[in-house]
């Protein structure tokens, strides 16, 4: 969802459940497949690595893509130079040093967004298909081997476009829906992801997420609401989910599949799956920057607690796959630490944990309502730099329900 305005952290062990204690370089990679019902992860997304978004790094975007509205158009304009530009990005934006920063801060899980082009080449697509998997293998092996991290491989875009936004493939792209050819390309992409997992040294450390924030409602005022996915789109996504589960079970039934709740709810989707047969965990996204939520830096903790308790009715475990600290009104720098700690604690208190969006943001030029910039509210490594979670800090998390 992120910044759609259309209307590295030292986490104290007291905030982590025993199953999500801060990893260390002495940890041995587990060979046991994750049981999401017992899991309690604290993590981040690696946004802006394999899926480019302008707000994450405006300097890179302006230098590479200029005025292009999305990565699709940027690569189309660059032509043959798109490859070298993105290969350099893949090798420098997320490195082993980044993982060290995250690992030392208590991160136990990484959600890694990718385009479908990282996995397969689709005729006519302007998205770059190159050496993404080489970099992905290097970083995931390092994160797992050194810090025993779990990895969510997120298909952030699918052929044709899943939501009309740049994150779904390109602006105006809705052609994933009701296209048998794009569905077949998507399932080929899923098969490639499953092959990456099963051929890993550490297959037990992966979860597959086959789609992100699908929406077939072309009225963007509905994006981020239950109306984002219309009845026909819901049926299309459900059939896709069932096909993905069949592929995952065939590859290895122990590999969990994370299904996005499409802004409806985990409870809505739970009715279509069987906890005894389907190795499923649901992903929900919690953001407070849309104006309709009425959030400011002071009242957002109440909204955090409300959001944290919503998934309790689900038959399946629920993970908060995206969230950030920006609110709609009066962003306040001095309240970030309290709000961050409150959210991290709430997601583990009531669910399977979370992945903050995102690890790195370097857009000091993009200001938010109130104080500060996007970097100040969306960048985990900025919180590391500020020392928010060093031992002895006076600011503590609020406890939901107390």
The three state secondary structure string of the chain is: CCCCCCCCCCCCHHHCCHHHCCCCCCCCCCCCCCCCCCCCEEEEECCCCCCCCHHHCHHHHHHHCCCCCCHHHHHHHHHHHHHHHHHHHHHHCCCHHHHHHHHHCCCCEEEEEECHHHCCCCCCCCCCCCCHHHHHHHHHHHHHHHHCCEEEEEECCCCCCCCCCCCCCCCCCCCCCCCHHHHHHHHHHHHHHHHHHHCCCCHHHEEEECCCCCCCCCCHHHCCCHHHCCHHHHHHHHHHHHHHHHHHHHHHCCCCEEEECCCCCHHHHHCCCCCCCCCEEEEEEEEECCHHHCCECCCHHHHHHHHHHHHHHCCCCEEEEEEEEEECECECHHHHHHHHHHHHHHHHHHCCEEEECCCCCCCCCCECCECCEHHHHHCHHHHHHHCCCCCCCCCCCCCCCC
On whether the CB atoms of residues 358 and 47 are closer than 8 A, the answer is: yes
User: Which range marks the domain in which residue 151 is found?
Assistant: 13-386
The tokens for 110 are 């990484």
On whether the CB atoms of residues 247 and 192 are closer than 8 A, the answer is: no
Does pLDDT of 114 surpass 80? yes
The answer to the question of residue 142 being in a domain is yes
Reported confidence tier of residue 260, pLDDT bands at 50, 70, 90: very high
The answer to the question of residue 330 being in a domain is yes
Does pLDDT of 27 surpass 80? no
Res 279: pLDDT: 99
Count of structural domains within the chain: 1
The answer to the question of residue 402 being in a domain is no
The answer to the question of residue 150 being in a domain is yes
Res 385: pLDDT: 94
Does pLDDT of 9 surpass 70? no
Residue 92 CA to residue 84 CA, distance in Å, equals 12
The answer to the question of residue 283 being in a domain is yes
Does pLDDT of 26 surpass 90? no
Does pLDDT of 5 surpass 50? no
The answer to the question of residue 27 being in a domain is yes
Domain at 104, CATH number:
3.20.20.80
Does pLDDT of 17 surpass 60? no
Does pLDDT of 211 surpass 50? yes
The answer to the question of residue 80 being in a domain is yes
Average pLDDT value for the chain: 94
Mean pLDDT throughout 275-283?
98
The answer to the question of residue 7 being in a domain is no
**pLDDT, tens only, 57-76:** 999 999 999 999 999 999 99
């Amino acid at each position: 969802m992120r910044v759609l305005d259309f209307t590295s952290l030292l986490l104290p062990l007291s905030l982590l459940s025993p199953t999500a204690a801060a990893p260390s370089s002495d940890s041995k990679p587990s060979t046991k497949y994750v049981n999401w019902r017992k899991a309690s992860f604290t993590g981040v997304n690696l946004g802006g690595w394999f899926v480019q978004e302008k707000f994450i790094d405006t300097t890179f975007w302006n230098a590479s893509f200029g005025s292009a509205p999305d990565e699709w158009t940027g690569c189309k304009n660059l032509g043959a130079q798109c490859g070298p530009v993105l290969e350099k990005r893949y090798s420098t934006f997320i490195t082993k040093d980044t993982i060290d920063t995250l690992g030392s801060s208590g991160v136990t899980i990484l959600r890694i967004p990718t385009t479908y082009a990282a996995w397969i080449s689709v005729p006519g697509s302007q998205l770059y298909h190159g050496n993404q998997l080489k970099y992905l293998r290097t970083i995931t092996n390092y994160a797992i081997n050194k810090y025993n991290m779990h990895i969510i491989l997120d298909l952030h875009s699918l052929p044709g476009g899943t939501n009309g936004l740049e994150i779904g493939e390109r602006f105006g792209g809705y052609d994933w829906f009701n296209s048998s050819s794009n569905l077949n390309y998507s399932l080929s992409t899923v098969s490639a992801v499953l092959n990456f997992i099963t051929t890993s040294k550490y297959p037990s450390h992966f979860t597959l997420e086959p789609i992100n924030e699908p929406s077939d409602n072309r009225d963007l005022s509905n994006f981020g609401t239950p109306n984002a996915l219309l009845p026909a789109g819901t049926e299309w996504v459900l059939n896709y989910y069932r096909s993905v589960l069949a592929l995952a079970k065939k590859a290895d039934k122990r590999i969990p599949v994370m299904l996005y709740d499409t802004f409806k709810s985990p409870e809505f989707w739970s009715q279509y799956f069987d906890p005894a047969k389907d190795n499923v965990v649901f992903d929900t996204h919690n953001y407070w920057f849309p104006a309709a939520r009425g959030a400011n830096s002071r009242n957002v903790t109440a909204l955090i607690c409300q959001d944290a308790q919503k998934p309790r009715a689900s038959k399946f475990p629920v993970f908060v796959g995206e969230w950030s600290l920006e609110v709609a009104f009066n962003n306040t720098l001095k309240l970030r630490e309290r709000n961050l700690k409150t959210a991290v604690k709430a997601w583990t208190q009531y669910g399977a944990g979370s992945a903050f969006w995102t690890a790195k943001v370097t857009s000091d030029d993009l200001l938010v309502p109130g104080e500060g910039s996007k970097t100040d509210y969306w960048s985990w490594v900025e919180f590391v730099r500020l020392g928010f979670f060093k031992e002895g800090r006076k600011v503590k998390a609020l406890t939901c329900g107390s």
